[in-house]
Amino acid sequence: MQTSTHLLDPARLSELAGLELKARLIVEGYLSGSHRSPFRGFSVEFAEHREYVPGDDLRYVDWKVFGKSDRIYLKQYDEETNFGCTILFDASESMNYQSSQAAVTKLEFARWVAASMAYLVIRQHDAIGLMTFDQSLRDDLPPSSSAAQLREACRRLEALPGAGETPLGEMLPKVAERLSRRGVVVVISDFFDEFSSLERGLRKLSFRRHDVLLLQTIDPAERDFPFEEPTRFEGLENWGDVRANPKAIRKAYQQEFEQHLARLKGLARDLRFDYLCLRTDQPPTPALAGLLGQRRARRGS
């Protein structure tokens, strides 16, 4: 698979060898593949019996049951299907933050994570879609499994400027309504929004019965708060600048930050979403590999 985008250079592609994104919950699809469909078929994994009706294919008669009961029953199976995966990508101004501890902005880091997930989906012949947003929806690239789709998704990710506010909690119900079929939804954001608003938005995705991964991207300074001298903190997304003594506010700030992360992680657990916090000063591939491995182990549970 070839693509000209710098987001997926050969060295980075090699890091993804052996990784797969499998649907953990029941999804909807069109083609025969490797993910369980909610529609009954006659392939792969046994689900239940149903009574024979004239016109049914006799190849699926359970003759052992017939011998015991003298009644004709057919074996039914869970059909396997290709799935659609949609990446919801936060392109707001806060994603442009970069401290001296990180080599890239949160936006550039998140671009690579999104491109990696798109590559994995396309490589396994599933369909990838992309929605990018700040205060409004910027892009809505419908899911496709073509190699051209990967190039187009990467092109759009590269073009994002990282500007504007992100009322993420308000955006999630809107994008959930646009997803007409159940599938895998990957939300990539710093999730900096009022928790009550985030909760309402994420519950909407849960209500629509999507299989959701939350990939939170943060800069190390946002969590470690390493500042020592009196500092002017520049506000993003229309927040004003603030002058403060870091030593005086460090404890309260870190408690508030950790509480937000803990509440988001707890909500993900309650909704049966997968959650991963990624720091821009650490390589994302090992953490992604761990998450995808856990999903594969839990598949069908």
| pTM for the predicted model, two decimal places | 0.79
Which residues of the chain carry a pLDDT beneath 70?
1-5, 25-50, 53-57, 76-82, 164, 231-241, 299-301
**CA torsion through residues 295, 297, 300, 301, sign:** negative
Q: Answer yes or no: is 69 within a domain.
A: yes
Q: Is 255 helix (H, G, I), strand (E, B) or coil?
A: helix
Residues 67 and 93 in one domain: no
State which amino acid sits at residue 153: A
Q: Is 13 helix (H, G, I), strand (E, B) or coil?
A: helix
d(CA 141, CA 211): 19
- 248, with CB counted inside 10 A (0-12, 13-18, 19+), is exposed
d(CA 74, CA 61): 4
Q: Answer yes or no: is 159 within a domain.
A: yes
Residues 56 and 97 in one domain: no
Regarding beta strands 137-144 and 231-233, do their DSSP bridges make them parallel or antiparallel, or are they unpaired? unpaired
Q: Per the structure, how many domains does the chain have?
A: 2
Residues 150 and 207 in one domain: yes
Residues 218 and 237 in one domain: yes
Q: Which H helix or E strand runs over 112?
A: helix 106-123
Question: Is 97:108 a contact under the CB 8 Å cutoff?
Answer: no
Estimate to the nearest angstrom the gap between the alpha carbon of 164 and the chain centroid. 22
Residues 270 and 177 in one domain: yes
Instruction: Give the tens place of pLDDT for each residue, 152-195.
Output: 999 999 998 877 677 888 889 888 888 878 889 999 999 998 99
Residues 77 and 87 in one domain: no
Residues 47 and 190 in one domain: no
State the CATH number of the domain containing residue 255: 3.40.50.410
Instruction: Give the tens place of pLDDT for each residue, 238-280.
Output: 566 677 778 888 999 999 999 999 999 999 999 999 999 999 9
Question: Is 216:191 a contact under the CB 8 Å cutoff?
Answer: yes
d(CA 248, CA 251): 8
Residues 141 and 153 in one domain: yes
Domain edge (last residue) among 52, 81, 110:
81
Q: Answer yes or no: is 1 within a domain.
A: no
Q: Is 130 helix (H, G, I), strand (E, B) or coil?
A: strand
Residues of the domain holding 216: 6-27+83-296
Q: Answer yes or no: is 61 within a domain.
A: yes
Q: Is 271 helix (H, G, I), strand (E, B) or coil?
A: helix
Question: Is 279:219 a contact under the CB 8 Å cutoff?
Answer: yes
